[in-house]
């Protein structure tokens, strides 16, 4: 990776700077990077919005979202000084011409050998016209004095289903090269998720047992305590399967089970990831009811003002991987909103060779909160009897490294500036992930069958109880 890049001038164009995501994640990440002096000195942020919004309004909530005791107003001021707002009609081609001219003027002033990033922090339905207009008006062309072409960062969901994802990818492909497109899956950029690859491929101890001869099952869960938090429109069209499983959880699955790439480098990692995803068996239409559970929290329909809503706020899915290493190992993905706790973890449960072993060894990657890794082992209980008991060996990030882990969005921005695509989803990965869930989406969209209501703050639909023991 080329750390020098962060010294190059940067022009960051944020579409949707007033939106929820930019406010909650993007601006706080920029604040942290600015605070740590990790942003280039020559920096311009151009906040694009349809409405006439002042800079003061854009930054008014930053402190609340950064939410740290030693909040530094000077850093906020620095960011503000580097930012300008630009109101524009997002469907007017002339506005894109004018924007390009303006960006080129900025670049002429701060150095044309830099990097220009477009960050589309907008609802995915709005992607296509904006991508087209950016392409048609030349925003995709290399910078005047630079070697690199501008990069486009886009947020999931990439499409609404398989067909729309293919369309979106085709439109992107018409205007931007694959090397210019950075599809953000912020889960992949979480420190603890990146550590899975390091852990797997730098500890030979585990590498030799990472297969179906030793592993019994894997469960990946992402439970959230928060509900849809007023995002009724977004969530009603999305649901847990699209919001989490098609994107974050299939990426986590791929990272946990892909084979070792020859080098831990972007292209080779993506090659192994797609090979793995190709081996994941899409759920067949006649297996949907056996392999999935869906739920909706009580009160959701009132929140979205749709008494007939079929949108799931909880989804569980069992998948199988058809390759030499993983045949026969069930992989369970489970996610839900308004549950009793915020917990994201991946549990790898090992086989018991015979009855003398009473409990499975279990390796748990704790993605959040309390980031770390736990290994559950069997030990002899103290005392004169020979009785075994379970004990946990714990690695805790906070205790071992007395350092704040970088937030996923900080990493996303830095990697995009550096031009490192390792942590971004490729178009092939996106398409394959939609293929895996397509039949489930199809059935869930027009039938209420099996949709279970669960209480807010509970563990989810009662039907999942039988699996909890695992």
Alpha carbon 284 to chain centroid, angstroms: 26
Half-sphere exposure of 183 (CA within 13 A, CB side): 24
Residue closer to ligand BG6, measured from CB, 243 or 334: 243
**Token representation of residue 105:** 């003027």
> In the complex, what is the shortest distance from the CB of residue 224 to ligand BG6, in angstroms, rounded to a whole number?
6
Least distance in angstroms from the C-beta of 344 to ligand BG6: 6
Give the residue from 168, 440, 163, 190 showing the smallest Cα distance to 291: 440
Closest residue to ligand BG6: CB criterion: 243
Task: Choose between 103 and 154: whose C-beta lies nearer to ligand BG6.
Answer: 154
∠ Cα 88 91 94 (to 5°): 70
Query: Interface with ligand BG6 includes 191 (CB under 6 A)?
Result: no
Query: What's the length of the chain?
Result: 470
- Taking the least distance from each CB to ligand BG6, the nearer of 139 and 156 is 156
User: What is the nearest approach in angstroms of ligand BG6 to the Cβ of residue 139?
Assistant: 26
Contact 97, 136 (CB under 8 A): no
Enumerate residues 6+ apart whose C-beta is below 8 A from 14: 22, 26, 45, 46, 47, 48, 119, 121
Shortest spacing between CB 380 and ligand BG6, in angstroms: 39
Closest distance to ligand BG6 from the beta carbon of 366 (Å)? 13
Angle between helices 266-279 and 250-257 (to 10 degrees): 110
Q: Which of 175, 248, 270, 446 is catalytic?
A: 248
Cβ-count burial of 456 within 10 angstroms (0-12 exposed, 13-18 middle, 19+ buried)?
middle
Q: Residue count at the site for ligand BG6 (CB under 6 A)?
A: 2
Residues 304-333 within binding reach of ligand BG6 (CB under 6 A): none
The token pair at 331 is 């992989």
The answer to whether residue 248 is catalytic is yes
Q: Which is nearer to ligand BG6, 133 or 254 (CB)?
A: 254
- Secondary element (H or E) of residue 61: none
Site for ligand BG6 in 73-112 (CB under 6 A): none
343 vs 462, beta carbon nearer ligand BG6:
343
CB 381 within 8 A of CB 388: yes
Smaller CB separation from ligand BG6, 229 or 465: 229
**Position 371 contacts ligand BG6 (CB under 6 A):** no
Asked if 243 interacts with ligand BG6 (CB under 6 A), we say yes
* Least Cβ distance, residue 186 to ligand BG6 (angstroms): 6
Taking CA 333 as the corner, what is the angle to CA 329 and CA 339, rounded to the nearest 5 degrees? Answer: 145
Task: Please provide residue 317's backbone torsions phi and psi, each rounded to the nearest 5 degrees.
Answer: -145, 135
Q: Which of 224, 236, 303, 415 binds ligand BG6 (CB under 6 A)?
A: 224
Known catalytic residues?
248
* Residues engaged in binding ligand BG6 (CB under 6 A): 224, 243
């Amino acid at each position: 990776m080329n750390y020098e890049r962060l010294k190059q001038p940067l022009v960051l164009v944020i579409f949707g700077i007033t939106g929820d995501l930019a406010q909650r994640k993007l601006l706080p990440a920029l604040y942290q990077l600015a605070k740590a002096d990790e942003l280039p000195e020559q920096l311009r942020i151009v906040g694009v919005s349809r409405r006439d919004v002042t800079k003061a309004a854009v930054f008014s909530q930053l402190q609340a979202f950064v939410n740290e005791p030693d909040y530094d107003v000077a850093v906020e001021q620095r960011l503000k000084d580097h930012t300008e707002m630009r109101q524009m009609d997002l469907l007017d081609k002339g506005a894109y011409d004018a924007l390009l001219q303006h960006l080129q003027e900025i670049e002429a002033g701060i150095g044309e050998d830099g990097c220009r990033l477009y960050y589309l922090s907008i609802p995915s339905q709005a992607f296509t016209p904006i991508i087209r207009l950016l392409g048609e008006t030349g925003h995709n062309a290399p910078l005047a004095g630079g070697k690199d072409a501008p990069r486009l960062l886009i947020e999931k969901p990439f499409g609404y289903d398989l067909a729309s994802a293919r369309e979106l990818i085709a439109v992107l492909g018409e205007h931007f090269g694959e090397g210019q497109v950075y599809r953000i899956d912020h889960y992949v950029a979480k420190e603890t998720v990146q550590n899975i690859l390091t852990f797997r491929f730098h500890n030979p101890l585990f590498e030799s047992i990472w297969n179906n001869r030793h592993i019994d099952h894997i469960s990946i869960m992402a439970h959230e305590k928060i509900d849809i938090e007023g995002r009724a429109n977004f969530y009603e069209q999305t649901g847990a399967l699209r919001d989490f499983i098609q994107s974050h959880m299939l990426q986590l699955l791929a990272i946990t089970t892909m084979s070792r790439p020859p080098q831990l480098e972007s292209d080779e990692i993506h090659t192994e990831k797609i090979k793995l995803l190709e081996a994941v068996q899409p759920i067949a239409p006649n297996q949907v009811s056996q392999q999935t559970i869906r739920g909706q929290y009580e009160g959701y329909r009132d929140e979205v003002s749709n008494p007939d809503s079929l949108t799931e706020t909880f989804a569980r899915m069992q998948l199988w991987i058809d390759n030499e290493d993983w045949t026969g190992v069930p992989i369970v993905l489970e996610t839900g909103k308004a549950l009793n706790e915020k917990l994201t973890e991946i549990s790898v449960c090992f086989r018991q060779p015979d009855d003398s072993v009473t409990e499975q060894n279990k390796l748990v990657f704790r993605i959040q909160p309390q980031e770390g890794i736990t290994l559950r082992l069997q030990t002899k209980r103290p005392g004169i009897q020979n009785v075994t008991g379970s004990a946990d060996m714990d690695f805790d990030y906070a205790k071992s490294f007395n350092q704040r882990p970088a937030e996923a969005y900080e990493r996303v921005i830095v990697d995009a500036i550096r031009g490192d695509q390792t942590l971004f989803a490729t178009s092939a990965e996106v398409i394959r992930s939609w293929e895996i869930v397509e039949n489930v989406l199809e059935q869930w969209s027009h039938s209420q069958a099996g949709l279970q209501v669960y209480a807010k703050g509970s563990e989810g639909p009662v039907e999942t109880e039988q699996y909890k023991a695992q």
